[in-house]
Amino acid sequence: MSRSLNLLIGLLLVYAVGMLAPIVPTGKPTTALRFGFLDIGQGDAILIQTPDGYNALIDTGANIGRLRQELARFLPMPMRLDLLVLTHPDLDHFGAAEELVFSSEVGVVMTVDTAKSDWRLQGLNAAILQRVGGIMYINDNHDFRLGCCTEFDVLWPGDNLITKRETEVNEVSVAFVVKYNKFRAFLGGDLGSEAELQALHNCDPTLCEVYLHKLGHHGSKYSSSLDVLKATQPRLAVVSAGWGNLYGHPHQDVLQRLSDLNVEVWRTDLQGTIYLVTDGLSFVSVESLKSLEKKELKI
Ligand SMILES: [Zn+2]
């Protein structure tokens, strides 16, 4: 497929909300939505596989070796991704993206527009331009659907927000709710609690409630406040953090909040890659691919 066609597909994918994306998915259709919260060390890398076979990766972490190793559990070679979303330009979220783009086929790349620029970002931008054809900058006006039935309700950043930031890029992380039937998951990059709350104000109040909440900023105590967690009312929380990380993520205060609210916590630092499967209607299955601990839950 030509790069220009890839870019065209990307435009159709994003702007034709409500339409079936007119591309052949890279994976095999199933009846379930699947998430892989990949254990790539300190950082985020979340694979989403739609029921009709589309593959989306949210962030790449910083270590291409770890990323490829974990992706290989889910994707056949040669590796193909329909969509890559880079939530914000910090290394623990985009550091492996340049090598991934060069070594895999990526259909569309989305990220947030900031003024941050360094040699790593310049290299990444050049790689995306060469291999994908361009970057799509998104904000909360860019809700989209991937395939037939998996919706991405983009909540943040607002288009009125100053996104041309060079610093504090955590606070303009792309945040969205992924929806499939009755199942909802909130993914908010590295947003702090204040921005998380503002982002959640951008969704219908009843739709802010989610089944799964990926904790903000790897479980930092400045994210996922009590107010945030009361807004999303998750059944499950996932922490994406590196084993023995120097930041103390996830913070004890956050774990206490989750405990107080009876939210079940799964952690990549302790349990390795977390694999979640749901039909969006009746069941959610969560499994640690490291310890093989597994739970079957009802929606
Ligand atoms: Zn981060």
What is the per-residue pLDDT across 69-128, written as a single tens digit (0 to 9) for each?
999 999 998 899 999 999 999 999 999 999 999 999 999 999 998 888 899 999 999 999
CA of 296 to the centre of ligand 1 (A): 29
Q: Are 140 and 155 in contact (CB under 8 A)?
A: yes
For ligand 1, the distance from its centroid to the CA atom of residue 245, given in whole angstroms, is 12
CA–centroid distance, 2 to ligand 1, in Å, is: 33
pLDDT band of residue 173 (cuts 50, 70, 90) is very high
User: Per the CATH hierarchy, to which homologous superfamily does domain 3-298 belong?
Assistant: Ribonuclease Z/Hydroxyacylglutathione hydrolase-like (3.60.15.10)
Rounded Cα distance between 27 and 35, Å, is 14
CA separation for the pair 206, 241 (Å, rounded): 29
> Is pLDDT above 70 for 18?
no
Query: What confidence category does residue 165 fall into, taking pLDDT thresholds of 50, 70 and 90?
Result: low
The region that residue 35 occupies, defined by phi over 0 for left and psi between -120 and 50 for alpha, beta otherwise, is beta
Q: In angstroms, what is the span from residue 11 Cα to ligand 1's centroid?
A: 28
Distance in Å, CA 173 to ligand 1 centroid: 10
Q: Report CA(279)–ligand 1 centroid distance (Å).
A: 29
Q: What integer best gives the mean pLDDT of the chain? A: 88
Find the 139 Cα to ligand 1 centroid distance in Å. Answer: 19
How many angstroms is it from 92 CA to the middle of ligand 1?
5
How close is the Cα of 43 to the center of ligand 1, in Å? 5
Parallel/antiparallel/unpaired status of strands 33-37 and 46-49: antiparallel
Q: Name the pLDDT band for 212 (thresholds 50, 70, 90).
A: very high
184 Cα–ligand 1 center, Å: 22
Q: Are 296 and 283 contacting, i.e. CB atoms less than 8 angstroms apart?
A: yes
